[in-house]
Amino acid sequence: MTKEEFVARCPKLFHSFARTLADRNGYYMVQFAVEWAENLVDKPLLDAGCGAKSTLSRCQPSLRQLVGLDPLRDSLRENPHVDWKVQGVLENLPFHAESFDAVYSDSVFEHLGDPAKACREFYRVLKPGGRVLINTNSIFNPFMFPNKFLSISMRERLKNVLSIDNAGTFHAPYRANTKARLKRYLRRAGFHHLRFYRWGLPGMMQPKWFLALELGMELLSEIPIFGGLKHRLMVTAEK
């Protein structure tokens, strides 16, 4: 969906704010990753939990040493965007210490049973001065929060009823999905220079009254104290 298509679907009252949201979303989805991966074109980089599509490679297609790791063999088999494919889990990475210049993980941490251990593993496999980017959901977003408690079958049914795009539904205990928890896990692992970012677009475009409700919540989340209401929570850090 283009920026103008998104704005056109929004109530007129929110058109100006919707353009701001779309611009911010476009930046963090694409350009931010390009800037983060600058100078990594010829260096080993791990996409931890790559799934069937590597969002990083699509943002920065010039990467030439991208290793994709995922627990699901079928997802790895389908992924055309990584140079090497390795089956494994984030809490026990099958790599030697100091193997990578950077680790990237998108939409994975909400599914981890032990995110603190995953952070320690990221630190272990990174070279000194290496960087990490973790992009996940915020537990305080009211449309993400129920995922912590609903069964997979119930979430599947809700997606079908609400016509939400379904790229797969997985267990989501949400054990690292606040700024405080991510900060604690990363710092205890040894990382420094942590920077947090909040962004995201409404997940449902219909019915229009519900979209208006979502946009109202997004507007409220512009106030710093309510920032946790935003859909996405992202952090970068260095070893």
Q: Are the C-beta atoms of residues 213 and 203 closer than 8 Å to each other?
A: no
- Axis crossing angle, helix 115-125 with helix 179-189, rounded to the nearest 10: 40
Contact in structure between 101 and 141 (CB atoms under 8 Å):
no
State pLDDT tens for residues 190-207. 999 999 999 887 666 777
178 has a pLDDT exceeding 90: yes
pLDDT of residue 79 exceeding 80: yes
- Report how far residue 99's alpha carbon sits from residue 214's, in angstroms, rounded to the nearest whole number: 42
Half-sphere exposure of 159 (CA within 13 A, CB side): 16
Mean pLDDT across the chain, nearest whole number?
88
Distance, CA of 19 to CA of 7 (rounded, Å): 6
The pLDDT of residue 40 is 92
Q: List the single range of 40-44, 50-54, 60-64, 105-109 with lowest mean pLDDT.
A: 60-64
Class of domain 3-238: alpha beta
pLDDT of residue 153: 63
Domain assignments of the chain as residue spans, ordered by start: 3-238
Which pLDDT belongs to residue 47? 96
Does pLDDT of 167 surpass 60? Answer: no
Predicted confidence at residue 29, as pLDDT, reads 85
d(CA 184, CA 235): 12
Band of residue 53 on the pLDDT scale cut at 50, 70, 90: confident
Global pTM reads 0.89
Complete DSSP assignment for the chain: --HHHHHHHS-GGGHHHHHHHHHHHHIIIIIHHHHHTTT-TTS-EEEET-TTS-HHHHH-TT-SSEEEEES-HHHHHH--S-SEEEE-BTTB--S-TT-EEEEEEES-GGG-S-HHHHHHHHHHHEEEEEEEEEEEE-TTSTTTGGGGTS-HHHHHHHHHHHT---S-------SS-SHHHHHHHHHHHT-EEEEEEEE---S---SHHHHHHHHHHHHHTTSGGGGGGSSEEEEEEE-
- Are 178 and 140 in contact by the 8 Å Cβ rule? The answer is yes
Q: What is the pLDDT of residues 111-164, one digit of tens each?
A: 999 999 999 999 999 999 999 999 999 998 877 766 665 555 665 565 565 555
What pLDDT shows up at residue 222?
92
Confidence category of residue 99, pLDDT binned at 50, 70, 90? very high
